Amino acid sequence: MTYCVAMRLKEGLIFVSDSRTNAGMDHIATFRKLHRFGVPGERIIVMQTSGNLATSQAVITRLFHSIQSDTGIHLHNVPTIFDAAALVGQYLTDAMKTSSSLRAGSDDLDFSSSFLIGGQIKGQPAELYNVYPQGNFIAATIDTPYFQIGESKYGKPILDRALSYDLPLDKALRCALISFDSTIRSNLSVGTPLDLLVYRNDSFDFPEGRRLTDNDPYFAMIRQQWSDTMRAGLAALPQPPDDYWR
């Protein structure tokens, strides 16, 4: 399993992904699920993956190969981020069809993957899309400025309570990291290291991003402070009326 969060905010884009994958609890490995494409000064495209690792790797590898061969439509020449999402959806459905023969005779095999793809092309606004296993996709909006894929339920409450389109990038990043803390604490299939990337609108830089481990000082500090704040907040709540518990 995995957990990825992407946000399209007034100031820019935020992407955070875990890197744990497992085929049973005795076979856990680390694979990067956040990938960058683009041309510095002209476009940046960031992609996150969740689901069947073979399928997602097939799509990512094909995207890189199409850029290297520079034939036809690829992520370095698509006219819009919308068209980039459509290209990912096409490659995803192609990979699913290739795997369909392996599924014959077994209902237990799941080759589906999901993708988050966001970025900005010069002269256009930043965009963010959620690409479903079927190849179709939806866009993030002002009312719904974030997407999750993978093990989303544990990290969703903090995002629903605290995140809004107008929230500054630094505060939104804190929301994302606390969302991961909640997920990591409640689900063993999600874990560090985390890969994160923050992009400020119209900068057209090519940020390296950052990889966070359990020993990262800031991540460790806010995880502990959040736990302390939760316990203090619970202790400060008024006592229930007598008829609630007697």
For residue range 15-59, list pLDDT tens digits in order: 999 998 764 555 567 889 999 999 999 999 999 999 999 999 999
Which pLDDT does position 245 carry in this prediction? 81
* Residue 54 structure tokens: 């073979």
pLDDT in tens, 52-85: 999 999 999 999 999 999 989 999 999 999 999 9
Which pLDDT does position 27 carry in this prediction? 53
Single-letter residue type at 145:
P
pLDDT in tens, 125-146: 999 999 999 999 999 999 999 9
170 pLDDT above the threshold of 60: yes
User: 51: helix, coil or strand?
Assistant: strand
Q: Which domains does the chain have, with CATH numbers?
A: 3-237 (3.60.20.10)
**Which of left, alpha, beta for 191 (phi over 0: left; psi -120 to 50: alpha)?**
beta
Contact residues for 122 (Cβ-Cβ < 8 A; gap 6+): 41, 42, 43, 204
b (16+ CB within 10 A) / e for 135-167: bebeebeeeebbbbbbbbebbeebbeeebebeb
Which pLDDT does position 92 carry in this prediction? 97
Which pLDDT does position 238 carry in this prediction? 94
Which carries the bigger pLDDT value, residue 221 or residue 189? 221
Give mean pLDDT, residues 236-246.
Answer: 89
- Given pLDDT bands bounded at 50, 70 and 90, which one contains residue 105? low
What is the rounded average pLDDT for all residues in the chain? 92
